[in-house]
Each structure stands twice: as C-alpha cells, then as structure tokens.
Structure 1
Amino acid sequence: MTLDARILILPGRGSSGSDHWQSHWEAANPHYLRVQQDEWDSPVLDAWLPRLNAAIQAEAVPALLVAHSLSVSLVAHWASRYSGPVAGALLVAPSDVEAPSYPAGTSGFAPLPLRPLGFPAIVVASTDDPRVSVERARQFADAWGARFVLAGAYGHLGSASRLEDWPFGQLRLAELAKLAGVTLPVNAA
C-alpha cells in the first residue's frame, strides 16, 4: 500500500507510556513511527532537534507530525530552523515552556518561536490543562497559522486523561490530512 504521508509520533517529556493515546495509535497502526530520543526525562532541544530532522528527512514522502506537550515546541523550533517534507502537524496540549510554573529539567526549548510554521497545523488544547492556558494555546495557534480546537476538560491530554484511542484526536488528524492534501493509512482516523 502506498501512502501519501508518513505519520511521525512525537511524544513529550518522559515519552508516552502504554496508556497514552499516542501509544494506542502507534500500536493500532504499523504506519505510525515514534521518533525516539536518547533522553526523555531531561530533554535538551539541541539533542532532540537532530533526531526529529533525521526522521523527517529519512524519506521524500511527506510526514504528518503528531506532537504532544513538549514536542509541540520541538515542532515550532524545527520549523524555525529547518525545512523538509512535512505535510502538516497535529499539535496537542502545547506546554508553555516560558511560563514561570513550567517544571524544571528541560534545556533550550524557551523562548518558543512564534511565527508561521509553513505547513498546515491544528492545535488541540484542553480547557483545564495545567501546562498551558486556553488563551496562551490560542496565541500559539494564531502565531503558527494553525487552526485552534478545544477538546474539552481533559487536563494535559496525556495518559492521566485516559483517552485510550482518542477518537476526537483521530478526527482532528483526518481533518489535518484533508487540509494538507494527503491521505492516511486505511486504519488511521
């Protein structure tokens, strides 16, 4: 089967455990590829960026990026420094890495680039996310030229939210594919 797009899963800090919707999606679809990082618990942007860039550049087939939390800022940094075959990005639960309340232990992710990404994107936020306010998430979406969607009150939209295969997110991924003009694997979204 030839796909019009590759799906790259970009977990946030700590990776995405077995209860995370990203892990459910990856387990259900062999076309989804997780971009692995050497250090998940104390991320350094200058170490994460080359891994993402290598995954994007690995094939000429365009990629749809599915980012959660800290990896949303990774995508913004990648778009400000690199170019490559990216068809679009689903940016879920962006962490406000510039907020004074942001947990310590990451390096280089702030300041967050606030300019158009150069490809279609959808930012999905929760109304009660402790890592970003709705207003700040909307500011990110506006700056990146992304569509903004509220998912409801689900915290940080991670493992603790118990979203399992997260049909709402799958619908957003299908919308993104349509915006980007690519198709998804049959068993995706």
Structure 2
Amino acid sequence: MSDTSTPTVLLLPGWQNSGPAHWQSRWEQRYGDTRVEQHDWMRPLRGDWTARLDEVVADLPGPVVLAAHSLGCILTAWWAAHSRHAGKVRGALLVAPGDVERPDLAAQIRGWAPIARHPLPFPAVLVASQDDPYCSFERAEGLARSWGARCVDYGARGHINADSGLGDWDEGRGWLMQLATPA
C-alpha cells in the first residue's frame, strides 16, 4: 500500500544558505516548508551535510519532497546514492546545480567532487538556466541524464536565485507539487 499522506517539503539550500528574497526562503515563509539547517553554510562539508539530511529525513514520520538549489542538488544526488532512507522521498526539484567539479568552484568548495552520477531512486525535475555562472547548461543536462531527471530549460535566468527576480516562483512550486502527488 502506498503512502498517500501529504509529504513534508524539505528545502536544501546551497553554499552560503538562501537569503530572505530567495524563492526557498519565500516558500518557507509562505508555505511553512522545512529548511534543512546545516552547521556551517560557509565551509560546507559533504559528509556533515549528508549526515544532517539523513537525520532529518529519518526523523520525519511520512514522505518528503526535496526542493534543492545549487549545492543542495549535489547533496541530493550524493545522499540518495548512500542513504537507506531515500525511499521516503516522493520526488525532488533540483534547481541550478553547482558544478563542483569545475576547477574554480572545486577550489572554493572542497571535498564535494566527484559528483554522484547514479540514477535517483525517485522522480526528479532539474531546472537549468542557459547563463548560470556556476554550471553550464550542457553540464546541467548531463547531470539530469545521469540522475534520470527531466531537464527543464529555463532560459537565461542566471543562477535561478533571488537575483533572477522570481519572487515566490509559482512555476517552480507547481513542478514541486506535481512531484509531491502520488502517481
């Protein structure tokens, strides 16, 4: 029997967290979504971030959906490849993954390469921008293929963050809610 309860939305910000104007913060305020707080947003450690996400998912009684941004996308893929709790995830919205294998980012965010490239054990939509300064569109398409995610070309929207002028980003919320609804 499948779980038809309403899933908890977990927000997975990237490096340096998401500020108040970011769509993740706006969703937290508007919908009461749960931000997965990390102990150090400035010096992210993959093992620590993975353990924290695993702890949060394990402690929740029902299903979850993930709304990840930037490094949060890379975290999602790594966590899903290693966690015994990934079965609780109904789906993931992966927005603007950061290419931590790129030399300039790898120097700033150490220890996150290689990027896990296993198919995700849950449905996912990856939203990528044509002019994201942290990941080329072609690279994002390749990650989507590796993860088995549907790739959405979001045009020239930068890093799909507060600077992109998305406001509450109702379109992204719609994709997330599609993932949250059991098939």
Q: Aligned partners of 1:158, 1:109: CA distance in 2, in Å?
A: 21
Q: Who is 1:45 aligned against?
A: 46
Q: Who is 2:121 aligned against?
A: 118
Distance 1:132 1:21, change over 3 A: same
Q: Who is 1:4 aligned against?
A: 6
Q: Is the 8 A contact 1:93 1:156 kept in 2?
A: yes
Q: Is the 8 A contact 1:79 1:118 kept in 2?
A: yes
Matched, 1:95 2:98: yes
Q: Aligned partners of 2:173, 2:89: CA distance in 1, in Å?
A: 19
Q: Who is 1:185 aligned against?
A: none
Q: Who is 1:65 aligned against?
A: 66
1:101 aligned partner, one-letter code:
D
Identity %: 45
With normalisation by structure 2, the TM-score equals: 0.92
- The alpha carbon displacement at 1:3 in A equals 4.3
Q: Is the 8 A contact 1:151 1:168 kept in 2?
A: no
Structure 1 residues without counterparts, runs of 5 or longer:
183-189
Q: Who is 1:152 aligned against?
A: 155
Alignment counterpart, residue 142 of structure 1, candidates 121, 145, 164? 145
Structure 1 moving runs of 4+ over 4 Å: none
With normalisation by structure 1, the TM-score equals: 0.89
Larger proportion of helix: 2
Q: How many residue pairs align between the two structures?
A: 178
- The alpha carbon displacement at 1:166 in A equals 0.7
Structure 2 residues without counterparts, runs of 5 or longer:
none
Instruction: Tell me how large the CA RMSD over aligned residues is.
Output: 1.5
Q: Who is 1:175 aligned against?
A: 178
